[in-house]
Structure 1
Amino acid sequence: MPDVLDLPVALAATPFDAEWKTAADVIRHVSRALRQSENEPEWVTHANFIDADCPDRFGLGPCAPWPKEGSNRRVGLSVQRANSEGWIVHVDLIELAIHDDVKRDFWKSVPLLRIKALSRSQAWSIAAVVSRMLGLD
């Protein structure tokens, strides 16, 4: 049976309240916490690293406020293979987009944060730390 990676005790004791913080503040905190652990990723960045003015397509910019969760919006986390090598931890805002003119609602995903790891086990370990840090679990 494979080893189960658990959250380091030091990180478990440090909750992080993202309310009233910008995306850059949250990403800086996540990056610092991961780098202080033995679980240092290759890089941590906001999804909209080109700072394009189209959050629905590229994600929130660094100066945008971190999204608040509600009944129709929540922050989600996933792990996917990277394009060339390694694994990417995705943190996204999933929200219900309500359009009265179309008479149809749909769910949309707004990218928030990306973290690169070189191995699958490291990516899942990072995902566990970030999930606990942001209160997703």
Structure 2
Amino acid sequence: MNTVADLIQPLLAARFDPAGRAVRKVVHEVERVLHHTDLEPEWVAVANSLANEDEDRYGLMPSAPWPDAGRHRRVTLSVELGYSEGWIIQVDFVQLVDRGHSAGVWHSRPLLRIKTLSRSQAWAVAAVVSRLLDID
């Protein structure tokens, strides 16, 4: 199996720019890139796979534009233990929402999820996705 550094190296030359693309198209590109590595996660999916209109709960719609980063807006990545088995890599859009009289509150909406069966595979996938989406 290749090291994570070996898998990331080709991505440095061809970094993917998600700006202006729909969430589903970005997820498809992430899936395509991961398919060409030895990592092969179980699945890669839009977080709001049913296109539920409650974006606060289920995540941005698949047709929504990929969010742009800024001073109080960022794309984040996390790795967590799955509910029944495996590990979930999740990419979220986090932004500071002004509450007027208060300092504001951070608001998070999921964008995509990836499932792997092992912890080491999850962290390797997270490293590739982080580099691909320029999160690191």
- Give me the TM-score of the superposition, normalised by structure 2: 0.92
**One-letter identity of the residue aligned with 1:77:** L
1:90 corresponds to? 90
1:64 corresponds to? 64
1:74-111 Cα deviation digits (max 9, x unpaired): 000010000000000010011101122xx221011110
1:22–1:64 Cα contact (<8 Å) kept: yes
With over 3 angstroms needed to count, the CA separation of the structure-2 counterparts of 1:15 and 1:40, relative to structure 1, is same
Range 19-28 or range 7-16, more displaced:
7-16
Q: Which runs of 5+ in 2 are unaligned?
A: none
3-state SS of the aligned residue for 1:136? Answer: coil
- Count of aligned positions: 132
2:132 corresponds to? 133
The alignment-based identity, stated in percent, is: 47
CA distance in 1: counterparts of 2:92 and 2:6, whole angstroms = 21
1:26–1:66 Cα contact (<8 Å) kept: yes
Q: Which runs of 5+ in 1 are unaligned?
A: none
CA distance in 2: counterparts of 1:7 and 1:85, whole angstroms = 28
Q: 1:133, CA displacement in angstroms?
A: 0.2
**One-letter identity of the residue aligned with 2:75:** V
1:27-48 Cα deviation digits (max 9, x unpaired): 0000000011111100000110
With over 3 angstroms needed to count, the CA separation of the structure-2 counterparts of 1:7 and 1:74, relative to structure 1, is farther
Q: Does structure 1 residue 25 correspond to structure 2 residue 38?
A: no
Q: 1:11, CA displacement in angstroms?
A: 2.7
CA distance in 1: counterparts of 2:130 and 2:57, whole angstroms = 23
2:98–2:105 Cα contact (<8 Å) kept: yes
**Where has structure 1 moved over 6 Å in runs of 4 or more?**
none
**One-letter identity of the residue aligned with 2:117:** L
2:79–2:89 Cα contact (<8 Å) kept: yes
